[in-house]
Amino acid sequence: MLKDMMPHFDLYQPDTLEAALDLAARLGEDGWLVGGGQDSFDWLKNRTRRTSAVIDLSGIAALRGVRVRDAGIEIGALTTLTEIEDDAVIRSRYSLLASAAGRVASPQIRNAGTLGGNLCQDTRCWYYRGGVDCYRAGGNMCYADTPEGQNREHAIFNASRCVAVTPSDTANALVALDAQMVIAGRSGERVVPAAAFFVGPDIDIRRMTVIEPGEILTAVRIPATWSGAQFHFEKVADRTTWDFALVSVAAAFRMEGEVIRDARIVCGAVACVPWRVTAVERALVGATRNAATADKVAQLATGGARALNFNQFKLPLMENLIRRAIRGA
């Protein structure tokens, strides 16, 4: 039952990354890291999870802002989604990310929500969020993947025990842009490709990213590789604002005239991680970007899919979104 009440916890508000990492190491599993708090406070106020301490990262100025770096850009993890949507450099070079950020929830949430929080948020499966003892919560079954399960929003690819999907809109754009995630810990910094940052239940059913306890996502780096390419982002949801995607597509095309020289197509809400449609990408190289090409290759997108009782609609929807991305609708 949803309580809508915030439990008691100790609040820590470090103003440097070093202080935050020290707190995270000292508090261990008792320290809940918070950026904008849009996901975390849902967990806490509903009392599905509890913590004795919250580490509020919002006061760390070094984790905010967009910086030009090595011909690409670096975005601080605490940069808000509204700032990303409105940033002139991102809009001119990597409009795919600006478009994705602009489709997250509502303006009020984008004003508070951060890029790091959007990337690291937990899945929204209602069985899991409601406190059901499912596989992801440490139990021994997936309630969504049953004949009676309510699985309209769940995965059609690569499910392993858990069929919940990643809810992040910006994740799909960043995978398409070959971004890199900068993760800091007390022992130093490591950089992980966006495609390897997200993990499915076959790797770790209790986590959705490679971030280890005590580590903090500090920045996202986007290389110049896709700067100025042709982009397409589209998200289908039950409502224009607030709702998470039923299916989305983030696509990038490097062109020579009308010919596609390279492509990235990543779909959201179809798998536990951002889902690269590599069969379609390969088929597009050397092809003309038009409706005929789109119709020819879109069906490759759903090869290997396994629809559940209530989400068969995702297969034609995914194919049609990819057609629209290739056509440039």
pLDDT reading at 329 higher than 80? no
Give bridge partners of residue 185 from the DSSP assignment: 188
Query: In whole angstroms, what is the distance from residue 89 CA to residue 81 CA?
Result: 14
pLDDT, one tens digit per residue, over 100-137 is: 999 999 999 999 999 999 999 999 999 999 889 999 99
Least confident span in 45-49, 72-76, 205-209: 45-49
pLDDT, one tens digit per residue, over 25-55 is: 999 989 999 999 888 888 888 767 889 999 9
DSSP 3-state percent helix, strand, coil across the chain (nearest 5):
35, 25, 45
Split at pLDDT 50, 70, 90, the class of 7 is confident
137-158 burial by CB neighbour count: b if 16+ within 10 A, else e?
beeeebbbbeeebebebbbbbb
Q: Which amino acid is present at 84?
A: I
Q: What is the mean pLDDT of residues 210-223?
A: 97
Percent of the chain surpassing pLDDT 70: 98
Q: What is the mean pLDDT of residues 1-30?
A: 89
Task: Supply the pLDDT for residue 20.
Answer: 98
Question: pTM of the full predicted structure?
Answer: 0.96
Task: Supply the pLDDT for residue 42.
Answer: 84
Task: Supply the pLDDT for residue 46.
Answer: 76
Task: Supply the pLDDT for residue 2.
Answer: 55
Task: Supply the pLDDT for residue 3.
Answer: 60
Q: What is the mean pLDDT of residues 201-209?
A: 95
Question: When comparing pLDDT for 107 and 329, which is higher?
Answer: 107
Task: Supply the pLDDT for residue 25.
Answer: 94
Split at pLDDT 50, 70, 90, the class of 320 is very high
CATH 3.30.43.10 in the chain, residue ranges: 10-59
Q: Dihedral of the CA atoms 7, 61, 28, 4 (nearest 10)?
A: 20
Query: In whole angstroms, what is the distance from residue 142 CA to residue 134 CA?
Result: 5
Percent of the chain surpassing pLDDT 90: 89
pLDDT reading at 18 higher than 90? yes
Task: Supply the pLDDT for residue 49.
Answer: 82
Q: What is the mean pLDDT of residues 227-244?
A: 92
State which fold the 10-59 domain adopts.
3.30.43
CATH 3.30.465.10 in the chain, residue ranges: 62-329
Instruction: Give phi and psi for 109, each to the nearest 5.
Output: -70, -40
Domain 62-329 indexed as CATH 3.30.465.10: yes
Split at pLDDT 50, 70, 90, the class of 186 is very high
Give bridge partners of residue 33 from the DSSP assignment: 55
Q: What is the mean pLDDT of residues 274-291?
A: 98
pLDDT reading at 234 higher than 90? yes
Both tokens of 215, joined, read 């580590």
Both tokens of 179, joined, read 């971004």
